[in-house]
Structures are given as C-alpha cells and as structure tokens.
Structure 1
Amino acid sequence: MSGRDRLIYLPLGGAGEIGMNAYVYGYGKPGKERLILVDLGIAFPDMDTTPGVDIIVPDITWLTENLNRLEAVFITHGHEDHVGGVGHLYPQIKKPIHCRAFTANLARRKLQEKGQDPKVVHTAPSFPQMIDAGPFKVGFLPVSHSIPESNALVIDSPAGRIIHTGDFKIDRSPVVGQPFSDDLWAEAARPGVRALVCDSTNVFSKNEGRSEAEVAPNLKPLVQSATGMFVATTFASNVARLQSLAIAGEAAGRSICLMGRAMRRMTEAAREEGILTDFPKTISPEEAADIPRENLMLIVTGSQGERRAASAQLSRGKYFGMELKEGDTFLFSSKTIPGNEKEVARIMNNLSELGVDVVTDDDGLYHVSGHANRPDLEFMHNLTQPQIVVPMHGEHRHLREHAKVADAGGRIGIVAPNGTMIDLAGNEPRVVDHVETGRTYLDGSALVGQFDGVVRDRIRMALNGHVVVAVMVDDDNEILEDTWVDIRGLPEQVRGSASLADIMEEHLAGQLARVNTRTANDDEALEGLIVKGVRKVAQDEIGKRPEVTVLITRLSAE
C-alpha cells in the first residue's frame, strides 16, 4: 500500500482562512511526487496583530525544499489573494507561470515592478485545451467571479480528474467577462471527477446568489438623485462594477475620474486585453479639479478601509486636490471583509463629520458577492458529480460546514486545513502527512518569518512601552554613577509630577552601587539585573512590564 502512487493535495495557504491562497498537487511515489502549485496569493495585515507589516505571503518553505519536484505554477485569476505573491516569491520558485491573458497581464506587471523577467508568465488557452506539467494535464475552465477571466482548473492525473474551482459564482449575465457555461462545465465533468476542490466562502448564505447585472439598474437612480459631488468605492478588481458605476455617472451627466493606483492598473489591463471596450471616457484628477462638483463623479480605491487608499485620504482631508464637503454623497458599493470593520467604520464616521451622505449596501442594492452561496455550491456538486469534495477558500468553520453539505449529498467531504496533506488516489481520501505552514511578512523590503520575533517584539513594545538604559563600566569594573534612562511609549510623569525616568535612574543608582565585581564584569548578568530593576519600578509605578534595552559601555585605560 505504501509503495503505490499517490495523488496528493496540500494547501499551504487559503484553507482555514480567507486569503493567501497556495495549493500544491502532486502525483507519484510517496515523497517523490511531481508537483504543481495552484495560486500564490497574499493576505493583508492589520494594526492589532501585524503592526508595520506591508503584506503577508504564505510560508513556502516546504515547497522550496522540494523545488526539484515542482513543474509549474497555475494562477486561477487576478485577485491579490491569488496572484499577489508572484512578484515577492517568484525568486524562490523560478518555475513557469501559466494563466489566462488578463491575469497574465497583471502577473507580468508584478514581476516587472520587482525587476524580474515577465516572460516567465505564459498566456494559457481555455479548456478543453490542456497544458502538460509532468504527470498532469491542466486546463483553464472559465467561471464567473467578481474579476474578469476567472478560471477553475481541470487537473488530469493518472489517478483521475480533479476540478479546482478557484473563486466562483453561478452568474449567467456577469456584465463583463464570460458567463457561467453549464454545457462547458458538464463537458469537463463528463469523464468523471475524482475530487472537486471547492470555494467555501459563502457556504452559510442559504439564498441563491445574485447576478452582477442586478446592480446596474439600482446605481443609475442613486447617482441621478445626488446633488453635490458623487464618490463611489468598490474593489478595484471588480471591472464589471467599475463599468456599471461609470455608465451610471455618465448617464447623470457627470465626468468620471478614477482615483487610486490599483483602479487605474485594473482598467488599463482590462482595456489592453480587450475586456473593457465600452468604458466611458475618464478624466485625470488634475482635470477633475476644474469640474463643478455637481457634474463630477469619483470612483476611488479603499473600500476595505486601507489607510493609504483614496477613500481614507479623502475622509481625512484632501486627495489630489479634491476635498469632500457637506452635501456630497459617498457610496460603498462593496461588502466589508471580516476583520476590516473598524477601519471602514472609521472612514464612514470621518465622512459623516464632513457632512457627507454615506450610502452602504445594507439593503443589498449596490453590491453582489463574487462567491457561490450554498444553493450554488450544491448546484456545482450536482453538476460535476465528484466522488470527493475538498472544501477550500474559507475559515475552518466554512470548510467544516461545506464538508457536511457534501456528505448530505451522498459524497465524501473531507476537511483539510493548511498543512494537511491528503491522498486522493484511493477509494477514500486519507490524511498522509502534516506539513509546517505559516506566514511570511513583507516588512518594508525584507521578508520576515512569522516566528522570527520581529513582529512579536513590535507588539510587545506597543503594549508595554520601551526603556533604554545606558551604563558605563570603567577598567576596574566599577560602575559609574551616571546611569541614563530614556523611555518611549510610557507616561513621562507619575505620582503627580515625578519623572518616571528619574525614578528609574535613582532606583538603578542604588541597585548598581551594591553590585560586586564579578557581576559588573559579566555583561549578561549585569543586563539581567538592570532589566529586573527597570521592570520593578514600572510595575510599582504604572503596572507595566516594558521591553528593556541595556547599553553597556566599558571604558579602557588606554
């Protein structure tokens, strides 16, 4: 049994979380399987758990340790949580990247931004054409989603066919891009599907999903009824929504201005690939400054509360010379992703203080999800008739619920969160290994491991403050009296008017005056004594245990 070929599935990111997708498939003898990687995405940090971090990418240590077995990378679509890691992690992988034209355009831009060769990205044909990758044949099966040219992957192996759905919904009128084709999907399923690896994001939503085409009719009257400047934010990648918003603005006699780098990049890529052909004429931010407010519509980035995006900057003041005023209207044509509620609410409150009328999608009029709801997932199960359903793209509760839906439909559902290697080749899926997975932080221009301590120390300093102590020791191992203390992130004064730094210096002076020669000659022992003394003072005075840095200078008679 142990010597037979395995068909393995191993998520390195995206299973047990929403974001940072990276899935490995392999076929061959145990431990010698030839591999492919599906998607290489990112996640976004937050100030509570990852302060100062720019983005988060999956820990691909296991993959790089088995790089000689990796054949190629396949990207399902152009959302950041699926393609965003390409520019950052490609130098560690250096394998061919395959994706459809629009996604390829975005991937090449990411590589160019990092000074890497964009020619490693290959534009793939759509199913039924297939790409050879070792023991696999892989086809890009068009599917509807909230970004153009999204694809599932048809993955053929000697052990059977897998369909990896990527992100999808059942939308037969998506405004921009290819509609969901029942016939094409039925063709893909006809040879038999061993495993359906399936999006789980909206498994708890029990109503059928809605089409993108339902949004446009609601936008036009809203824009026409506005009196001042009209501003709308949505996901920059939702090209269909951008077009619907721009058309509504044009119909209301407004000039359209796109604001935000991601917004411009997405529309440029869509035009270059022939996806956007009827997008209304736009004007630059400089030109927008000369347009009367009632004749202007801004479509801006930052629907998820990103601090540096256009929405946040407009809520705090001016952005590219534009300023919101009382009587303007601001539309959030988007759903707030869990975890972003506080930042989005901060922007809304800032706008309210400016007298701006904020419109959200609370009534379901101005946004539809790009992910399949439970009835659509059940439709997909019935359409493809898989033997096994492997839920992915969801938190653990989503995966578990989706597996229950599969079981109720007479299929085998298996929960496989990040790091769980399962073999799909037998009569039933089985867990065969667990791999260490985690996160890697892009901190400035450096990639930092999740357990390297950088972010942990940053959080500790944020919670407890930081104290720097400088002491000098002469060549006779006598500690000089002038110990210096500097505090950061702690109250300067305690007990009315007493200086916290002065109290620490006084305490250390008495403590160090009693230090014997042996301790004074041992940097580690001396540092431990000082740290303990500083923390005792801080605990007594303000109830804190700060991080402490000790600088020991040893003087020489020479």
Structure 2
Amino acid sequence: MTAFSDLRFVALGGAGEIGVNAYLYGLEGRWLMVDLGIGFADDRLPGVDIVLPDLRFIEEQRSALDGIVITHAHEDHVGAVPYLWQRLGCPVWCTPFAAAVLRAKLAETEIAREVPINVVEPGERFRVGGFECRFVHVTHSIPDSNALVLDTPFGRVLHTGDWKLDPAPLVGARTDVATLEAVGREGVLALVGDSTNVLSPGTSGSEAEVRESLTRLIADQPYRVVLTTFSSNIARLETAMLAAHAAGREIFVVGRSMRRMIEAAREVGYLKDIPPIRDEREAELLPRDRVLYLCTGSQGESRSALVRIAGHQHPRVRLEPGDAVIFSAKIIPGNERTLYNLHNQLVRSGIEVITEVDHFVHVSGHPCRDEVEQMYRWIKPKIAIPVHGEARHLHAHQRLAQDLGIEHAVLIENGDVLRIAPGAPEVVDEIPVGRMVMETDGLVEAGDDLFRTRRRLMNHGTILVSLVLDEEGSILAPPQLTPLGAFEADRFGEIKGQVCDAIADAVEDMSDEAVRDDERVREIVRVALRQALDLPRHRRPIVEVQITRLSAETLAALEE
C-alpha cells in the first residue's frame, strides 16, 4: 500500500461475521491493531476447530505496526494472539483481567516470555504510535470489558468493543455512563460499534435476573446438575456456584479453559466469596443430588468436557437418566446443528436438557436496539461504522444510525480500506483478507486444496484401486477395488466385476509407451472407473490408484 497521510480503518475480520475480530487504525502511514481474535470453524473446514485472520497485509509492513490493543478477554478478541503474535512482534496493551487470561494462554506456548504486555486501567491514558488512547469500562459477559477512545489530529474515534447496559452486572462495575457522556460532549468524529443484537428490540436484560432464575432451577433438580456456559462468563459461573451452595450441592469444574478462567479471575480479585471447588474425582462418592458440574462445551466444541461426557468418553464424569444439563448460553450462529446433535445425544441417554427455550437461563452480553440508540444519544458521532455482526446486522445498524440522524453511516466489508478523515468517509482501497487454520505443520489458508479434498471425502467417499503390472504394463492380476464411504456394500458387490473388467480393458488398450508411465495409467484408470460407474456429475468420489510393478527378475523368482 502506498504511503498515506489521513486517518484510516480496516477490518481484517469482524465485519460481516461474528468472531475473528481484528481491526486496524491507520494514521499518517502507521498502524494500530485493535483486538486479534479467533472464530469457530464450521463444516466447510472438516477437521478444524478454530479459524484465524489472515494477517498478510500487516505482516508485510510490521515495522509500521505500533501495537495491539485488546478490548477484553473473549476468544474472538484475544484468542489469536498466541498463534499470530510472532508474525507481528509488537507490544500489547490491555486491562488486568485480559492480561491475566492472555498470560495463561501464552504460558502454554514457546513465546510466553517474549510478548510485552502493558497493563493499564480504565481511564488511564497511554500512547500507541500517533494515537492517544484510553479505555472506558463497559459491561459485557466477561469482566474488564472496555470501549476504546482514540484521539487523533483528525478527531476522536470511539471503538465500542463488546458492551451492554446492565443495572446489576454482579461481577465488575456497570458501564461508565458518565465518562461516555463526557466523551460525547467533547466531540466524536466516528463510532465503530457492536452490531450483534441490533435486530433485537428492547434491552439485553440483567445478569441479576438470571441469577434468581438459575438459583430456583438448580434447587428444583432431583439429581446431578451439569451447567455449561462460556468459560469467560465469570458472573454466570459465580451464579452457578452460589446456587449450588444454596441447594446443598458440591461444585466440580470440568474443563481446562474454565479452570483457567477461574484462576485468572481470582488473580485480579474476582470470585472472592465463592464456595470451595472440589476435585472432580470425588463426585462419584456423593449422592446424585449433591453434585453440580460446571463444564466446558456450551457450543458443542469437539474436544470439550461436555461432548466427551455425552459420548461416555470422559474418564471421571458419568451421567445417568434423570440428571440435568443446563445450557446457560446462546447458540452462536452456525453452531445450531452441532448443538442440536449434542442435545439429542443427551436426551437419548435419559438426560434432561434445559436451554433458553425452556427456561430463563441466559442473557446476552451485547446491546439490543434500545441500548444501541442510547449509545448514539450519548456519543453523537458524525460517522457510524457498524462492525461485529453478519451482513444483516450491519445493514440494520446502518439503517438505525441513519434514522437517528447520523451524518454518515458507512457499510464496510473485511478488507475495505475506509478513509475516515479528512473529508467525507470513503472506501479508498481494498486489501487481501482471508482465513487461516492451524494444522500439524503450521498455518494453512482456509481455501487450501486440503479442505476441498476433505469435503469431497466427507460427501462422496473414496475408492482405492490396486493394480499389479509387469515392467511392460501387462496386468498380472485382476484389479482390486475397495470403496470407502462411496457405495452401499451390496450394490457395489453387484457391479464390481464389470468395473474391474472396464479398468483392465482400458489399461490393455493403452499404447506401449503410455502404459509404462504410472501417472498416465492412473488417469486412464480413474476415467474408466467413473465411466463404468456412470456417476452423475454431483457424485465425485476420490479415486486413489496404487500401482505395483514387478520386474522380470521378481516374476522369475516367484515362478520358482
């Protein structure tokens, strides 16, 4: 990208999707990154759990990146730092709880001592390159969430982060309304804002109301209770622990990420008065009505504790008919099928499954429409830039901002380079963006052929063909065919003979020169097999051809 002398904004992730939040603010040729998060993979990426933003644009000019500012400790805002920081190598700024969580994540990597983490408090001013920065505390479903104020020569930007208005958040303070009002009175050029719940009317609800409801619900359960929620929702974990204690139950935490979050919360002063947490190995010694498990797996993550428990794969936790599992979390869009499969698996085992459809067990951590309107009344920006939402959320956020009289409401997609100032906001360039995934050998682009091959295997199966030839290309034994997931066994048995004959005929018809070339033989075999099977175009099993050539000496030895 050529040098620039204006104020710019680029989403590497988070615009048009929920997750993978990674944003760049550019000022006179240098950059500040806000958040560096992960997203959860869907069935378009078989074998993959998380996705990461493609940082190629900022990697190529890493010397111009002055730092990363983390708004809060959710995975979709900080989770990519352990995987990608080495590609950037810059300092990180965050508040105490996010720092504790990040250090715990980095402790499991080789770069734990390399990442410079600067811990700042809300309201404390700090400078990152040409940006004068400060955090403003906002309520969210995790402690120490912050909006970020960026003061520049072109004007002030408010990056809201994830937030809500909760009169009784239980853990942590309420949103700092007084400071937000003061920021608005002083003048704001642009608001870059959370769009997740803008389609939902009203307000998001209070964590205190959930505590009352969960306390009654847990007390009413006759046998074991499993409660699963986001590991980072410290207020919800505290609610579950206090409700368990009130109902005479012992508390057992199952899942490494949840234990890590609890430790981080205690490190910075949260969860001071919770009942003791017992070792999960002791649960089987107690009556069923004395047990409450707090488990990871609210989104059906493949390696989570709850998924292993539901599949009877957990070494220490067993559930029995009549036990209850409470899903105290909203389903992330795209996870519906995974979660419903998990629900059904539990129900078939006689487990009572309780979700927000059945009972009041969850409130969102994001602002609904009335709360978004209130933020605009406080901040009064000239420019609204919706982020943190799918396309339908961003469009609704844009319409709302226009209805509220915001002068410019700008829609962008990942990769759009938006000039915020001077002048009217305008998309002036486009940069390459994409997704990366972690494989055994390192990072791989999500569009790599590896994943197309996996999808074909999942959808169409594979057929293994084994050929034994002599050096001249004559077939020494009938071809061997093994279908894996490509055909129903009885049907394939009926047609196998004619398919083998077709393959043999095709090889025998090859020229003397061509039949000596293994790659040309493989291609002829694939074509002959597909023609013999008469498959429709939408059915394309992968055909793997293994060729064994026996030399004259080997054949002579075998004949002896």
TM-score interval, normalised by the smaller of the two chains: over 0.9
Contact 1:141 1:151 in 2 (8 A): yes
Equivalent position of 2:26 in the other structure:
26
Q: Is the 8 A contact 2:456 2:540 kept in 1?
A: no
Cα contact 1:126–1:141 (8 A) shared by 2: no
Q: Deviations over 1:18-40 (max 9, x none)?
A: 01111111011xxxx20011111
Q: Distance in 2 between matches of 1:279 and 1:399?
A: 40
User: Quick check: 1:457 aligned with 2:453?
Assistant: yes
Task: Summarize deviations over 1:455-488 as a string: whole Å, max 9, x none.
Answer: 1111012112112334455444556555443332
**Alignment partner for residue 72 of structure 1, among 64, 67, 71?**
67
Structure 2 matches for 1:34-183, cutoff 5 A?
34-46=30-42, 48-118=43-113, 120-183=115-178
Q: 1:156 to 1:542 in 2, by over 3 A?
A: closer
Instruction: Report what 1:419 is aligned to.
Output: 415
Amino acid in structure 1 at the alignment position of 2:431: V
Query: What is the letter of the counterpart of residue 436 of structure 2?
Result: T
Aligned residue among 385, 388, 391 for 2:383: 388
Correspondent of 1:532 among 527, 531, 535: 527
With over 3 angstroms needed to count, the CA separation of the structure-2 counterparts of 1:153 and 1:497, relative to structure 1, is: same
Instruction: Please say if 1:467 is aligned against 2:446.
Output: no
Equivalent residues of 1:538, 1:546 under 8 A apart? no
Q: Deviations over 1:281-320 (max 9, x none)?
A: 1101012221111111111111112233222222233634
Distance in 2, Cα, partners of 1:436 & 1:475: 50
Q: Could you tell me how far apart the structure 2 residues matched to 1:496 and 1:506 are?
A: 14
Change (3 A) 1:55 1:296: same
Asked if structure 2 preserves the Cα contact closer than 8 Å seen for 1:44 and 1:54, the reply is yes
Structure-1 separation of matches of 2:441 and 2:235: 33
CA displacement at 1:135 relative to structure 2: 1.2
Match of 2:245? 250
Unaligned 5+ runs, structure 2? 554-560
Aligned residue in 2 for 1:350: 345
Distance 1:133 1:224 in 2: 50
Would the alpha carbon gap of residues 326 and 194 (structure 1) be closer, same or farther in structure 2, given more than 3 Å must change?
same
Q: CA deviation at 1:147?
A: 0.5
Q: Which residue of 1 aligns with 2:558?
A: none
Cα deviation for residue 269 of structure 1 reads 0.6
Q: For residues 342-382 of structure 1, give each alpha carbon's deviation from its aligned partner in whole angstroms, at most 9, with x where no partner exists.
A: 22222222222233322222266221100000111111111
1:491 to 468, 487, 491: 487
CA shift for structure 1 position 426:
2.5
SS of the equivalent of 1:346 reads: helix
* Residues 380 and 364 (structure 1), Cα distance of their counterparts in 2 relative to 1, 3 Å cut: farther
| Inter-CA distance 12–543: structure 2 relative to 1 (3 Å threshold) | closer
Question: Pairwise mapping of residues 304-319 of structure 1 onto structure 2 (< 5 A)?
Answer: 304-317=299-312, 319=314
Which residue of the partner structure matches residue 7 of structure 2? 7
* 1:117/1:333 CA distance change after superposition, 3 Å: closer
Cα 1:93/1:555, change in 2 over 3 Å: farther
Write the deviation string for residues 194-237 of structure 1: whole angstroms up to 9, x where unpaired: 11000000000011221211111112221222211122111111
CA distance in 2, matches of 1:135, 1:557: 76
Amino acid at match of 1:38: V
Q: Would you identify which runs of 4 or more consecutive aligned residues in structure 1 move more than 6 Å? A: none
User: Within the alignment, does 1:275 sit opposite 2:289 as a pair?
Assistant: no
Give RMSD over aligned pairs. Answer: 2.2
Equivalent AA in structure 1 for residue 455 of structure 2: I
Change (3 A) 1:541 1:373: closer
The one-letter amino acid paired with 2:278 is I
Q: Is the alpha carbon distance of 1:148 and 1:486 closer, same or farther for their aligned partners in structure 2, counting shifts above 3 Å? A: same
Change (3 A) 1:190 1:128: farther
What code does the residue aligned with 2:37 have? G
> Relative to structure 2, which stretch is displaced further, 351-360 or 414-423?
351-360
**Distance verdict in 2 for CA 1:322–1:481, change over 3 Å:** closer
Q: Please point out which of 442, 448, 462 is paired with 2:444.
A: 448
Percent identity over the alignment? 39
Residue 89 of structure 1, CA deviation: 0.8
Give the alignment partner of residue 184 of structure 2, picking from 161, 181, 189: 189
Question: Equivalents in 2 of 1:164, 1:469: separation in Å?
Answer: 58
Q: What is the CA–CA distance in structure 1 between the aligned matches of 2:536 and 2:54, rounded to whole Å? A: 42
Secondary structure at 1:219 match in 2? helix
Local SS of the residue matching 2:132: strand
SS state at 1:163 partner: strand
1:546 aligns with 2:541: yes
Asked if structure 1 preserves the Cα contact closer than 8 Å seen for 2:93 and 2:120, the reply is: no
Q: Is the 8 A contact 1:99 1:121 kept in 2?
A: no
User: Could you give the per-residue CA deviations for residues 252-292 of structure 1, whole angstroms, max 9, x where no partner exists?
Assistant: 11111111111111101100111221122110101222111
Equivalenced residue count is 551
Equivalent residue number for residue 433 of structure 2? 437
Letter paired with 1:164: H
Pair 286,484 (structure 1): closer, same or farther in 2 beyond 3 Å: same
Aligned to 2:254: 259
Change (3 A) 1:541 1:335: closer
Superposition pairs for residues 191-340 of structure 1, below 5 Å?
191-317=186-312, 319-340=314-335
CA contact (8 A) 1:440 1:450 kept: yes
d(CA) in 1 for partners of 2:549, 2:151: 68
Amino acid at match of 1:451: G
CA gap 1:543/1:525 in 2 versus in 1, 3 angstroms = same
Amino acid at match of 1:25: Y
CA distance 1:351–1:486, change in 2 (3 Å): closer
Change (3 A) 1:109 1:159: same
- TM-score normalised per structure 2: 0.93
- Letter in structure 1 aligned against 2:306: S
Equivalent AA in structure 1 for residue 230 of structure 2: F
Query: Offset at 1:170?
Result: 1.1
